[in-house]
Structure 1
Amino acid sequence: MRFNFALKTMLFVAIATSVVSCNKSKDYKDNSRATGWRLDGRDGSMKYQTDYKGQETGPGLVFVEGGTFTMGRVQDDVMHDWNNTPTQQHVQSFYMDETEVTNRMYLQYLDWLKFTFPPTEKKYANIYKGALPDTLVWRNRLGYNETMTNNYLRHPAYQNYPVVGVNWIQATEFSKWRTDRVNELQLEQKGYLEDGAKYGADAENTFNTETYINAPSKVYGGNDSLSKGRNNERLTQVIKEDTVHNFVQRKDGVLLPAYRLPTEAEWEYAALGLSGIREYNQYRGRKKYPWDGQYTRQGGRKKRGDQLANFKQGNGDYGGIAGWSDDGADITAEIKTYPPNDFGLYDMAGNVAEWVADVYRPIIDNEFNDFNYFRGNVYTKNAINKDGTVKIVTSDSIVFDTLSNGSIIARTLPGQIKQEAVNTEDTYLRTQFSESDNRDFRDGDRASSRGYMNNSSEAKRMYNSPEHSVTAVKDSTGTSQGLDRQYDTNSNRTTLIDNEVRVFKGGSWRDRAYFLDPAQRRYFPQDMATDYIGFRNAMSRVGSKSQKGKRARD
């Protein structure tokens, strides 16, 4: 009897000790290791995210674990381009759109712009108009393509087809819009924004992620009922528990990093899907396409002979003979028509080629950098008022960009923070960069260029590309009188390469199999569009390289 009592007593003490130990462990986690202070934001204490579970995967994205790979040509250079010499590069983990951006996705962007910035109002007219894809890219002087011209973008039959006719600038602006809409929903679901706030904003009250982080009281034009959600019961409870933290901050891990165009290195790494041919710490052989093997048709028993991508198979052959052997598409194909690669990404070869973020140069300068390689950095900083607050773009300070073809595109929207170039004072004694615009660095800037000589023996810039000029003409009252287009007719121009041309990757429905190789790289003016270039978004990974930690070899 006494033995049972003693055993029960010991068991009770053990359980109590365990509970106390767990509580101490929990308190230790929630308290500062530096000061011992509380970190939960209650009773006036500071608040930090102590139980962060890791970055959420944004809508439409697939995780791509980064690593080292050989970027560039792995097959013979039959075109003699000499612009994709193999280099070893390392990319950090990131996220990539599972599919190309579709017509339906882009139409949501257009409809939001049309609702928020009514084109019937003169000062907003160019915002919606400048975002419209160029549907005339389908026209051919010796072909009848009016069906696509009139229907491809908006008809529901094409809603899940990749959007085309979008230039690089438009793709970049879509990415900014997508970032804000996703984070706006994140904040609404967490109770920091009023339910339905995303539907109630107008031209002067739009949500911007960076504005929310830097000046949350100015979001939605300073409309507290939207930004603080005073009528939201969930947020009211949060405010009661957290006396100093009424707005989400970057340190909370709620807001996702920006959607953006992938870098060329990221795109090529993701397209190759090398994870499927890994052997210990090396890759078994080399891959010519996003799938295994040297051929474009499936070799499996059930689907033997089926094409693995949508591309041009020969002169006048865009899909094959009608029937079982046809590839199912003559122009673009609906997303997910063909199998994904080893990362779970669809159409990384064929269907449409895709814009990437990089400015084009013939070589990849891996001697200077082989980590997250990217050419195209233009560093800016937030513009600051005299009172120390950030400058917010209003409907009267929207920045429009007049493209070389005369199109006008809005580069800033109301609610965003005005940006300005980094100056020499900002870069004083910095060793890693000295200028705001680094697109020419080591290939086009004064330090790297010998230049070319004209008849007057005057040294010029490295790339002798055309210099077009398009300016808006206004009368004395400031009323627009149209555009003055001055096209460069100089017959001595020797190249199209400049800082306004961007790389696009991957073959398309118009290309032969040669361009399905992810290593192939071509360029196109950033303000022009075609019927065979689309895009997909990427997002940086913050935190751990792997989603699940290091794991055993399969």
Structure 2
Amino acid sequence: MKQIYFLIAVLVTGILSGCGKKTDRGEVLGADRKSAPHTEVPYGMAYIPSGSFLMGQTDQDITFAQIAQTKQVTIPAFFMDQTETSNTQYRQFVNWVRDSIAITSYLNDPKYYIGANAKTPNANPTGKKYINWNYVKSNPIWSSRAKKGQANTAASKLQTMMYQGDDRIFDRDEIDVRLIKYNYAMPLLREAANYKNDKSKKRSDFILRDTVGVYPDTLVWLSDFSYAANEPMVEGYFSHPSFKDYPVVGVTWRQARAFTVWRTRYNQAYKDSRHQPHRAPYELPNEAEFEYAARGGRIGTDYPWGGPYIKNAKGCLLANFKPGRGNYSDDGGTYTVKVKSYFPNDYGLYNMAGNVAEWTSSAFDPSASTFVNDLAPTFNYEAKKNEAEVMKRKVVRGGSWKDIGYFLQNSSRSYEFQDTAKSYIGFRCVTHFQGRDLRDKK
């Protein structure tokens, strides 16, 4: 009987100990034993499932004969913006950079900081100061809602951010957009892999540090077209609220990449505040991803909606481009149209053909299809400032509002130099999927 009571006591003790703090009992269970977070679809993005497709021309190649060879490739799953990046989205980036510069270089007011020198109980023990963006939102730097004394003090400190002297028009206070520059750093993983056995290299050799003026070039509406009265587009396209949902243009490839870095850091800051894991970085799509997503899961089609025609059965044009010989407005838009115009393709992506052509992360090489891998193919090249211009070519996809129908084809590829801005080139972002395919229900 005593033995039975003893066994019961041992059993109860084991159960109670099992209900308490978990131990590994000397077994290898893994460093991170928390359950994996649920896969989230980033806001405004569509899920693009993994798959294989025949990349390259499906129709005649009328401009670059014999350079767009077809090749079967496989693309891993990823997320892509449903629309082109709009003026209002890019303006959020510009305003964030503007306010950061105003706070750190001009105001120097401790109330805008969370840090060792700020008058706040949440002082950072490392001594670094960080902008308190919650305080900035409730106390806007440029708003008339600020108290009179604070507004006058802030205005006097920020005066040097305005155009000075003869650069002023009617003595108005206008921010000197040349001052709005974004500093960032990012790893060059391909170069790190290429030189991983080179003992003379340091980690810093594979970190790209860049400073980019982020305000778009609004003069592209004039510089892109000779003898065209596009002054109203210069004056209002990026700044006027009526164009807020139109695609941003006048951004260089470097500006577009800077936006992806900022968007990544912006999301990571939110995740950190809630102790959540980071999602994969935002990037520009490479050209294989763009073509694969544009096809929408269809095989051998000319256009994102299928094809081979740019009109539907009712005779309506299906994209914003240049139909005929200069009849720009026949498709419903003389210039660009809103980013959610026309019907999306089968992946839920809008304007993968037409409206604005789009930057990709891929460097342009006429024969790239012959040497890139058949698994997640891309050709990247980080051109130095002093290199020849031919090394700074980046692939542009999708065709635009001023292009003829050929350039709207899924397989059509063109290029532009990374430091140039155009009135017909914009961009959208992707973020790469981490974890199992969403189609996997196991």
TM-score range, shorter chain: 0.5 to 0.7
What is the CA distance between 1:292 and its match in structure 2? 1.8
Identity of aligned residues (%): 35
Question: Residues of 1 paired with 2:250 and 2:180: CA distance?
Answer: 17
Letter in 2 for 1:103: N
Letter in 1 for 2:57: R
What is the CA distance between 1:84 and its match in structure 2? 1.5
Letter in 1 for 2:293: A
Q: Is the 8 A contact 1:257 1:540 kept in 2?
A: yes
What is the CA distance between 1:50 and its match in structure 2? 3.1
Q: Secondary structure at the match of 1:319?
A: helix
Corresponding residue of 1:125: 179
Q: Secondary structure at the match of 2:99?
A: helix
Corresponding residue of 1:497: 390
Q: Secondary structure at the match of 1:522?
A: strand
Corresponding residue of 1:549: 440
Corresponding residue of 1:35: 27
What is the CA distance between 1:268 and its match in structure 2? 0.6
Q: Secondary structure at the match of 1:135?
A: coil
TM-score for the superposition, normalised by structure 2: 0.68
Q: Which one of the candidate residues 374, 379, 394 is aligned to 2:378?
A: 374
Corresponding residue of 1:291: 305
Corresponding residue of 2:204: none
Q: Is the 8 A contact 2:69 2:369 kept in 1?
A: no
Letter in 2 for 1:136: L
Aligned residues: 326
What is the CA distance between 1:66 and its match in structure 2? 1.4
> Given the alignment of the two structures, is residue 72 of structure 1 paired with residue 56 of structure 2, yes or no?
yes
Q: Which one of the candidate residues 247, 256, 262 is aligned to 2:279?
A: 256
Structure 1 residues 173 and 76 mapped into 2: Cα distance closer, same or farther (>3 Å)?
A: same
Structure 1 residues 366 and 88 mapped into 2: Cα distance closer, same or farther (>3 Å)?
A: farther
What is the CA distance between 1:31 and its match in structure 2? 6.3
Question: Residues of 2 paired with 1:111 and 1:49: CA distance?
Answer: 41
Question: Residues of 2 paired with 1:82 and 1:550: CA distance?
Answer: 43
What is the CA distance between 1:58 and its match in structure 2? 1.7
Q: Which one of the candidate residues 510, 519, 534 is aligned to 2:411?
A: 519
What is the CA distance between 1:61 and its match in structure 2? 1.4
Structure 1 residues 33 and 262 mapped into 2: Cα distance closer, same or farther (>3 Å)?
A: farther
Structure 2, gaps ≥5 residues long: 1-13, 106-157, 162-177, 183-211
Question: Residues of 2 paired with 1:378 and 1:372: CA distance?
Answer: 19
Structure 1 residues 98 and 49 mapped into 2: Cα distance closer, same or farther (>3 Å)?
A: farther
Corresponding residue of 2:45: 61
Corresponding residue of 1:105: 89
Q: Secondary structure at the match of 1:184?
A: helix
CA deviation vs aligned residue, 1:349-377 (integer Å, no higher than 9, x gap): 00000000011000124555211111115
Question: Residues of 2 paired with 1:141 and 1:263: CA distance?
Answer: 32
Structure 1 residues 31 and 292 mapped into 2: Cα distance closer, same or farther (>3 Å)?
A: farther
Question: Residues of 2 paired with 1:162 and 1:34: CA distance?
Answer: 57
CA deviation vs aligned residue, 1:394-452 (integer Å, no higher than 9, x gap): xxxxxxx9x78xxxxxxxxxxxxxxxxxxxxxxxxxxxxxxxxxxxxxxxxxxxxxxxx
> Given the alignment of the two structures, is residue 135 of structure 1 paired with residue 244 of structure 2, yes or no?
no
Spell out the pairing of 1:467-506 with structure 2 (5 A cutoff).
Answer: 467=388, 497-498=390-391, 500-506=392-398
Q: Is the 8 A contact 1:54 1:543 kept in 2?
A: no
Question: Residues of 2 paired with 1:520 and 1:527: CA distance?
Answer: 22
Q: Is the 8 A contact 1:359 1:375 kept in 2?
A: yes
Structure 1 residues 79 and 27 mapped into 2: Cα distance closer, same or farther (>3 Å)?
A: farther
What is the CA distance between 1:65 and its match in structure 2? 0.5
Question: Residues of 2 paired with 1:357 and 1:142: CA distance?
Answer: 33
Question: Residues of 2 paired with 1:374 and 1:33: CA distance?
Answer: 47
Letter in 2 for 1:52: A
Structure 1, gaps ≥5 residues long: 1-19, 40-45, 193-247, 249-253, 278-282, 321-326, 380-400, 405-465, 468-495
Q: Is the 8 A contact 1:359 1:376 kept in 2?
A: yes
Letter in 2 for 1:35: E
What is the CA distance between 1:180 and its match in structure 2? 0.8
Q: Secondary structure at the match of 1:362?
A: coil
Question: Residues of 2 paired with 1:160 and 1:542: CA distance?
Answer: 30
Q: Is the 8 A contact 2:372 2:378 kept in 1?
A: no
Spell out the pairing of 1:420-439 with structure 2 (5 A cutoff).
Answer: none
List, as ranges, runs of 4+ consecutive aligned residues in structure 1 with deviation greater than 3 Å: 30-34, 119-122, 365-368
Q: Secondary structure at the match of 2:328?
A: coil
What is the CA distance between 1:33 and its match in structure 2? 9.5
Question: Residues of 1 paired with 2:373 and 2:419: CA distance?
Answer: 28
Letter in 1 for 2:282: Y
Structure 1 residues 367 and 531 mapped into 2: Cα distance closer, same or farther (>3 Å)?
A: closer
What is the CA distance between 1:32 and its match in structure 2? 5.2
Q: Which has the higher helix share?
A: 2
What is the CA distance between 1:183 and its match in structure 2? 1.7
Structure 1 residues 187 and 73 mapped into 2: Cα distance closer, same or farther (>3 Å)?
A: same
